[in-house]
Each structure stands twice: as structure tokens, then as C-alpha cells.
Copies of this chain bind each other. A is one copy, B any other.
Amino acid sequence: MSAIEDVVRELSRLPGIGPKTATRLTHSLMRGPKEECLRLARALTSLAERIRPCAQCGNFGEEELCSICRDPDRDAALLCVVEGAFEVASIEGTGQFPGRFHVLGGRLSPLDGVGPDELNVASLLARIRDSNDAVREVILATSPSVEGEATAVYLEGVIRPLGPKVTRLARGIPMGSDLEYVDGSTLVEALAGRREM
């Protein structure tokens, strides 16, 4: 097995990258300076060796607690519950969320054998119940899919009795889209959630 085939095969394992894209990426790496290819290799080695889940929220980080949980300026009373660490990165990318996160590690999917025990639900409830943070509001930011909705409904049922307000991300027309292409159920949500101007 040649070095080229090795890289193509490994890149093809990544989501959304087929053999053709993997070949194109590999050739781009070979055409570029050797140092660039080595830099990517070193970065991946550090990633594998240094990254671990945060002991508190499940987000990826390099220490016992992730950078968000360590940051004293983040509002510990506002908790955003997401399915995965990727969503943490998306929301952090907006720079508009002052609170902290809790990563479920998936969503409820009974058919695939994923119940509450397979997700980080116990740690979420413990965090709300036991913390000195006095969590004021829990934002459920699971996906707007059937399973994501079911997860949100389940979580609302177990979180509300503990005291905090439970909210859900607004559904509606995505910014920059054309009304012509918006599907019916999104339109229904957008009508139901309409706001006075």
C-alpha cells in the first residue's frame, strides 16, 4: 500500500469526503510544500493526544474542564443543552451566547437503543440539582428533527420539576432564505411563532 493510497483511504473515512475528493485533497497536499502536510500531521497527532471531554459539560477541551466551563465570565445560570460538541462550536461561533453548555452526546432514539441512560442526562440533572450555580434557564438546542424534538420533550419533563425555566430555540424562516423554498412545517412554525414588529 503506497503512502498516497494510505492518505486517500484515511481521508475517505471522513464524513462527506468520497474517494474522489480524498484523491483531490491528497494531490493538493503533495503539490504544496512538504511542511504544510507535516503541520497537518502534527496538528492531528496533538488532537488525538490532547483532546478529551470536559468533566462537567462533555464539550471537547484539553484540560479537566473545557475553556467555557473554566471561564468565570460565562453565565453559569444559563445552560444550553446540545446534542454534540459541534453545536457548541456553532453557537460559540456566533459570539452571542453568554452562558454555558451541556453536551448530551446524541439524541433519544429508542429504535437504535439510545435511551436517557445512553446520553449525558444524569450529569445534566445533577448539574442543575446539585450545583451552586442556581441554574435559572435551560435552553434546549436539540435538532428540529423527530428525535431531537422527542429528546427536548423528554428533557423538559425531567428538568422543569427541578426549578429552572426551560426554553427551546425559535423555529422559523432561516435568515437569507427565500420564502418560496421554505417547507410547509417551517412555515407553520413561523406563523405560530410570529412576533409583533
Query: What is the bound-complex CA distance between A118 and B10, given in angstroms?
Result: 33
Q: Could you tell me if B16 and A51 are in contact, using CB atoms closer than 8 angstroms?
A: no
Query: A162 contacts the other chain (Cβ, under 8 Å)?
Result: no
Query: What is the bound-complex CA distance between A3 and B17, given in angstroms?
Result: 22
Specify which of B25, B31, B44, B84 is in contact with A7 (CB 8 Å cutoff).
B44
Question: Quick one: copies of this chain in the complex?
Answer: 2
Of A32-40, A109-117, A178-186, the segment with at least 4 beta carbons within 8 Å of chain B is A32-40
Contact with B along A1-32 (1 / 0, CB 8 A): 01110110111011111000101111111111
Chain B residue at minimal CB-CB distance from A27: B86
Q: Could you tell me if A47 and B6 are in contact, using CB atoms closer than 8 angstroms?
A: yes
Which residues does chain B contribute within 8 Å of A45, judged by CB atoms? Answer: 37-38, 41
A182 to chain B minimum Cβ distance, whole angstroms, is: 22
Whether A44 touches B41, Cβ cut-off 8 Å, given contacts A2-B62, A15-B24, is yes
Range, interface on chain A: 35 or more
Chain B residue at minimal CB-CB distance from A14: B25
Binding site of A, secondary structure by majority: helix, strand, loop or mixed? helix
Query: What is the bound-complex CA distance between A31 and B47, given in angstroms?
Result: 11
Query: A42 contacts the other chain (Cβ, under 8 Å)?
Result: yes
Which residues does chain B contribute within 8 Å of A61, judged by CB atoms? Answer: 2
Query: What is the bound-complex CA distance between A14 and B25, given in angstroms?
Result: 7
Chain B residue at minimal CB-CB distance from A5: B43
Contact with B along A167-195 (1 / 0, CB 8 A): 00000000000000000000000000000
Please, could you name 8 A-B residue pairs with CB atoms under 8 Å apart, sorted by A?
A: A3-B43, A10-B40, A14-B29, A15-B25, A29-B44, A30-B47, A30-B60, A31-B84
